[in-house]
Every structure is written in structure tokens, then in C-alpha cells.
Chains A and B, each alone.
Chain A
Amino acid sequence: MKNFGGHVLFLDRADINTDEIIPAKYLTEIAREALQPYLLESLTLDGFDPKRDIPGKQVVISRANFGCGSSREHAPWALEVNGIRLVIAESFARIFRQNMFNCGLLVVELPCDTIARLFTDYARGETFATADVARGVIQIRTGTKAEEISFRLSDFDRQLVEAGGWLEYADARY
């Protein structure tokens, strides 16, 4: 199982689509590593600069319907080759969510008001978050503030994360 924790990149917008996460013109790359420089290059978000804001981040916190649009698994890959293995949001598009678990990566859905509060309490400073998959808990801290937030993970999603992905799981089973 992969490690899910690190410094947080806050993306304060709903409906961030996979074209914004990794534009289609880079889908001509076959190797995942080649996507590394282009993560979130087309994101429409005031004050966001991918070159400045992405390095050193391992967790994304965002709003509703994250990863909508295209089915490209290049979106999770572009996150992973930048060291981001955990995305926390209010909700996810189906294919993006499945692609993350299929790659052995983790998405965590939290209620709208919890997400809103995380933005209010943590988005301004340097914030660190970790997911404890076994306990189903997110630990988040910044400066003097810290807390634990529990989350739900279905048995199947947990098995995919523990197996390292769907290919590994399915090949052992079918």
C-alpha cells in the first residue's frame, strides 16, 4: 500500500475537470513520467501558479465534482508523478474516482460543510494532512491547529488501495 500524506495544495473551485488537470495535447505521451511538468497547467483559478504552488505538495483538497470530464487516467498519473497520492474533496466524478483507486491511490469524500471549514481554517497557512486507511481517519494540522476527521471507505475500495490497484487485484482473482 502507498503512503498517503504530506503538504496540502488547496484548490478552491468546484468542477475541476481532467482537461484542466492534464490537457489533451499531452496525452500523446505514453510514459507516465513525461506528464510531470504539465499538471494543472490549464486550471482556471485566480492566483494559482502551477510552477510555484505544486512542488512539495502531496495532498490536494478541493470542492465538488473533482475530476469531471474525460476518462483519461493521465489525470491520476499526472498527480502521482508529482508525488500527490491523496485527493480530498466534497465529491468526485465517477471515472476519476475509479481511476484513482484502480491505481492504488486514495480519494476521500467529506461533507460540504467539512470541506468549507477546512478551507476556512487551513487554506491560508502551510498545512499537513495524512490519511490513515486502516482507521479511516484524516489527520490535518497547521501552526497551532490540528484535528482528526473520520471518513468512510468501502471494503472494496480499501482492498484496491491495499492491493496497490485493480490490475493486481483482478489478476489474482479472475
Chain B
Amino acid sequence: MGQTVAEKIFETHVVDRPAEDVWVIRLDAVLCHEITTPTAILDLMRLGKDRVFDPSRIKAVIDHVTPAKDSNTATQGKVLREWARRHHITDFFDIGRNGVCHALFPEKGFIRPGYAVIMGDSHTCTDGAFGAFTPGVGTTDLAVGILKGVCAFRRPQTMKITLTGELPQGVFAKDVILSVIGRIGVDGATNRIVEFDGPVVQRMNMEARMTLCNMTVEAGGTCGICYADAITADYLWEHIRGEYPDKAAAAADFRKWWPDPDAVYEKTIVHDVSGLEPVTTFGQKPDNVRPVREMEGTPIDQVFIGSCTNGRMDDLRSAARVLAGRKVHPHVRGIVCPATTKIFSEALEEGLIRVFTDAGFCVTNPTCGPCLGMSTGVLAEGEVCASTSNRNFNDRMGRGGRVHLMSPATAAASAIAGHITNSELYKA
């Protein structure tokens, strides 16, 4: 019987089968940030097990609150920093070299096709865009991963979502994944891995694929997976050039992580994007999705462009195309947060930072802060944010605040208008 991508990864990584439906698998990397890791570190210290299974396979970043905003967050950074030094974890990224984990770690080449990777963060599902198995986990799974390099999972069920058609102008990967979540619901993929297939995905660059996989957890999915191909090889090339004679050879090798033609899927959905309009969310669940057209005119107080969903170069470019030569509405606060230090530098070189500042946007350092109401963009009671992030939960960006999720282009257009609106109105 043929295998799905996840089944292939499980079979090549299995170290134990403690029960019929449970697979304990070997991890290629364990990723850490300063919010969920310090408790794992302190637990291990308390138990007399302050060890790491392999320092070269542990990667750590301070990204959620950076720079530290108070004594608590300074302490979280200190615990992680000292632990990384103590255990000679050289892939540790502090302020000035850091970035939002799900943009930074792929950028560093730490996620490869066929890898099994965990992180104490639900949006680790982003990294499946590289043809890897990358579930988010809690702190205890993380502690065991750090100590033993393994993690336990139930037998993977996979659903396949085939994206067909042509993306219309002004419609992006963000609109696609929101429309998928709107269709299958917030538990439509629970306990399942989602393989994204079809011509629309094949044409997407890695940034768009990461946006797609990033929000699979909003449908309850364990992780998203895209099939590693020439586009994947091209993105990873500077990190893998020593391993392959050329990019074509790398892409050919990646095919071993494609599903077998007779792989068995728990469910298959064909999702045609041809008639898709730009979409946004209403309410407080990510499956509350409707066309921007129907939300036109909804007043906003803040616009946030950034996060692990939409803080990469392509996202900044598409927002800047809308903003160029225009000004943010006087009643709106615009915040743009390039997701990594490298992206910040590239945006500076391309002149995008200038476009944002000329438009009246505040450009912040790379951080997760605004997305989860931790720092640099917390909402007040009753305020509304048009956001390129991933969760519109009650109080997500600040107590009593409301969030509408959308693409960077829609967010930029809304910043100019002062209310939710379609980016096509601001075509150059």
C-alpha cells in the first residue's frame, strides 16, 4: 500500500511503537523560543536532567517579546540565553540577529524535506511547506525532545487539499488558506496532516507555501505539507549546495518525500481558487470568513502587517505596492514588522521601508509581539485591528480588542481607507 508524506517520515524515523496507534519518532531538529522553553529548562534542571540530546540539532531564538518589555520577559530571555551558552547551542539568535521563529528557522535552512521537527509553538505547522513533518507541541513534549530527541504521535491521518484554477489579481495565499478554513471549519483538520497539492501550490513560491501551511492549525491540523520541488531546492540552495551537484539534482532527490501515487488519504478536497475574492474574517473564530466586499466600510483603528503568516519579503512587497505614494488614514495607526533581521535588511535595500515610513507606518524590529497582544501593538478595549496575522480570537491582540484577518494587500488598502476595503481600489 502506498504511503503519504507523513507516513514515509514516520517509517524512516520510528524508534518505538509503545502502543498499536503510537509512534515515537526521532527528531531532526528541536526548535525553541523564550515563551515555552524556559519552563521546560527549569523542569529539567529541577529533575537533575539539565542535558540536551544533541546541541547541533537544537535551535533557539528570542522572538516573542524582543527587546524585553519587563522583568518577566527579561528573565525568560535570560533563562534561554544562559541555557544555550551552557549547552553550546550555537544556533541561538538574540536581538539584532533574530526573527519570528517560523520565518527565521526556514530562512536559516534548518527545515529540510523529510525532516521531523518539533517546536513549542502551534504555528510550527508552517515549516511543513518544505515537505517536512513539523507539528507544534507543548512544553512537556519540548522538554522530552530536548532531553531525548524523540516525540510521540498517534498514527498520522492525512487529508489532501488540491488547489486548482488560477489565482485572480489581488488574491493571495492568505485568501486561499482563509477560504479553506472557512470551508472545513476550525476542527475540519483536527488530528490530521494536510497535504496541499495541485497547480496553484506548484506555482507558489516558498513564502506563499509557508503562509498556506501556517494556518492549517487554525483548522486543527497537525501540520501542512507541500511537496518539495525545484522551488524548494532554489530556496534552500545556499544551505544545501555542498550536498548536491546542482539544484536539479536536489529537486530530484526531494522526490523521495513525495507521496506514493496509491497513498491512502482519509479525505480529499478539491478547492478551486479561480472565483476567489479577497477575504477577511468576522467574529472570533478563524473560520468566520467572508469576502472583503461584504465587510467593506468596517472601521479600523490599527493595521498590523507582519507575523509568521505574512511578515516575509513577498508580503512586504505586496503591501508596499498598494501603499506607494499614499498615506495612512489619519485615524489609523499602521505597524509593519518585517519577520526577520534579514528581511528587514532586504526591505531596506529594496526601498520598501521608505515606502512604509513615507506612508506613515511605524516599522518595528522583528517580533511576534502584536499578533498575540504581547508587545508593540496591543489594542485597547473596543479597538479594531486589520491584521495579516492568524488568530481573531477574543482578546487576542489586547483585552476587548477585535481582529480581522486578511492579506497584506488588503491590510495596506484598509490602512489608507481607514476602514476595511479591497486592495484593487488602490491599483497603481
Listed in ascending order, the chain A residues whose CB lies under 8 Å from chain B are: 15, 17, 19-20, 23-25, 27-30, 32, 42-44, 64-65, 68-73, 76, 91, 93-95, 98-99, 102-103, 154-156, 159, 165-167, 170-171, 173-174
Contacts and interface: CB of A to CB of B under 8 A. Distances in A.
B220 A44 contact: no
B395 A69 contact: no
Given A24-B373, A166-B152, A15 B186 contact: yes
Interface of B: 15-16, 18-22, 24, 35-36, 38-39, 42-43, 47, 49, 64-65, 70, 72-73, 75-76, 79, 120-122, 124, 135-141, 143-144, 147-148, 150, 152, 186-187, 190-191, 217, 220, 222, 284-285, 372-374, 391, 393-396, 399
A91 B190 CA distance: 10
B18 A42 contact: no
Contacts of B19: 154-156, 159
Contacts of A93: 187, 190, 220
A32 B47 CA distance: 16
Given A27-B36, A69-B393, A71-B124, 7 more contacts: A65-B190, A71-B138, A73-B39, A73-B138, A93-B190, A156-B152, A174-B24
Contacts of B393: 17, 19-20, 42, 69
B122 A28 contact: no
Contact of B121 (A17, A20, A71): A71
Given A30-B75, A170-B144, A171-B49, A69 B391 contact: yes
Contact of A68 (B120, B137, B220, B372): B220
B236 to A, nearest CB: 26
Contacts of B284: 44
Nearest to B285: A15
A166 B140 contact: yes
A167 B143 contact: yes
Contacts of A165: 140
Report which residue of B19, B139, B285 has the largest number of chain A beta carbons within 10 angstroms of its beta carbon: B139
Contact of B374 (A25, A42, A71, A102): A25
6 contacts: A20-B394, A28-B65, A71-B121, A73-B120, A95-B136, A95-B137
A65 B186 contact: yes
Contacts of A69: 122, 217, 391, 393
A17 B283 CA distance: 14
Contact of A102 (B39, B122, B140): B140
A107 to B, nearest CB: 13
Contacts of B76: 28, 30
Nearest to A76: B138
B396 A19 contact: yes
Contact of A171 (B70, B73, B147, B285): B147
Nearest to B150: A174
Report which residue of B140, B144, B147, B372 has the largest number of chain A beta carbons within 10 angstroms of its beta carbon: B140
B136 A91 contact: no
Contact of B72 (A24, A29, A43, A174): A29
A68 B20 CA distance: 26
Given A15-B186, A68-B186, A159-B18, A166 B141 contact: yes
Nearest to A43: B394
A166 B190 CA distance: 21
A174 B399 CA distance: 43
Given A20-B394, A30-B79, A166-B144, A154 B65 contact: no
Given A93-B220, A174-B148, A28 B394 contact: no
A32 B138 contact: no
A44 B72 contact: no
Contact of B395 (A15, A19, A98): A19
Contacts of B21: 154, 156
A167 B144 contact: yes
Report which residue of A28, A42, A174 has the largest number of chain B beta carbons within 10 angstroms of its beta carbon: A28
A19 B49 CA distance: 31
A44 B69 CA distance: 28
Contacts of A91: 187, 190
Contact of B373 (A25, A29, A170): A25
